[in-house]
Amino acid sequence: MITRRAALTGLIAAFSAQDLKAQTKNTLFVSSQNSFLHDPGPGWPDRPERISSILNALEAPEFITLSKREAPTAELKSILRVHTHQLIRLLEQATPKNGFSSLGQDVTLNPYSLSAAMASAGGAIAATDAVMCGKAQNSFVATRPPGHHALSNQAMGFCLFNNVAVAAMHARAIYNVERIAIIDFDVHHGNGIQDFFWGDKNTLYASTHQMPLYPGTGELNETGAFNNIVNAPLRRGDSGEQFQEALKNRILPRLELFAPDLIFICAGFDAHIHDPLGGLRLLEEDFRNVTLRVMEIAQRRCQNRIVSLLEGGYAPQDLARSVATHIKTLMEA
């Protein structure tokens, strides 16, 4: 009898064989020009400058070997594995011909927002394809809008589509990936991820985040239908010491025990000490540490397969330094 993991190995080999030129690279960086077009207006925290600051940081010599590609537009069928037709119709109808349109729940659209969201989801899918086909050891996707707050039927918290959920369901549908882990260190809890995977015994969602804070979810007792949700809330003013304790005592042991076939990271850098939307006190070294710890488990459990997606981080220069640290660490695999 062929096990699902054996089938997964065979399927990945088959996909890799389709491209004879494909050679395993270290780290793939995915971005999108559409990210610059999604501009919700003056004073909005999720600004195009977030991406330009990251791209500028990656001009440093240590990133010369970093593979880069443009994010494609996601296919509708990929979005519909997670989101409803009703949400897509709502976003289409709410997209203005010019100016801005507000949906409430911290969602503002301009004429290019939906295209940017489709590229964000497409970038997550492309990064997943690269890792699963052996074209990259791991990957990082720097696109916007972010995704971890989006519900199946509702855009919220700057997020239109839940990029990591779309990528995870793509991995499951195309590569037969069984056990998927999602590690989230954004300062805000990923309520959309938790909601979508609440009843999925083969998906582990583990989050560190500040509480109380938007969106108000992420209590210790929110554990999922199959004990597959791990929340490690931190308090305003907590620093790297408390963050590392939460990782060591709650997040990493569960990740190791879960033994995933693929790991996603929701890389939100708004837990940085200088971020205007959070109250935690993390530094670049804390982001390096969590990246290393997850990489160590990925090496033991899933052949180093990691797909990391940008979520929050709203102080552009601190975001750029934090992302550069994260990517430089991923490149050490």
Active site residues: 149
Give backbone dihedrals phi and psi of 243, rounded to 5 degrees, phi first.
-60, -45
Asked if residue 30 lies in contact with residue 127, where contact means CB atoms within 8 angstroms, the answer is: yes
Q: Locate 48 and state its tokens.
A: 């195009």
Beta strands in 85-135 (DSSP E): 101-104, 107-109
Burial of 80 (0-12, 13-18, 19+ CB in 10 A): middle
According to DSSP, residue 104 is labeled E
Number of Cα atoms under 13 Å in the Cβ half of residue 18: 11
Cα separations in angstroms, 37 against 3, 47, 109, 150, 235: 45, 10, 11, 20, 35
Q: DSSP label at 282?
A: B
**H-helix or E-strand spanning residue 324:** helix 316-330
Q: To 5 degrees, how large is the angle CA 224–CA 226–CA 228? A: 60
The H-or-E segment that residue 208 falls in is strand 203-210
Q: Nearest CA to 157 among 195, 200, 198?
A: 195
Residue 270's SS3 state is: coil
Q: Which residues contact 59 (CB under 8 A, 6 or more apart)?
A: none
* Spatial distance between the Cα atoms of 302 and 260, rounded to a whole number of angstroms: 6
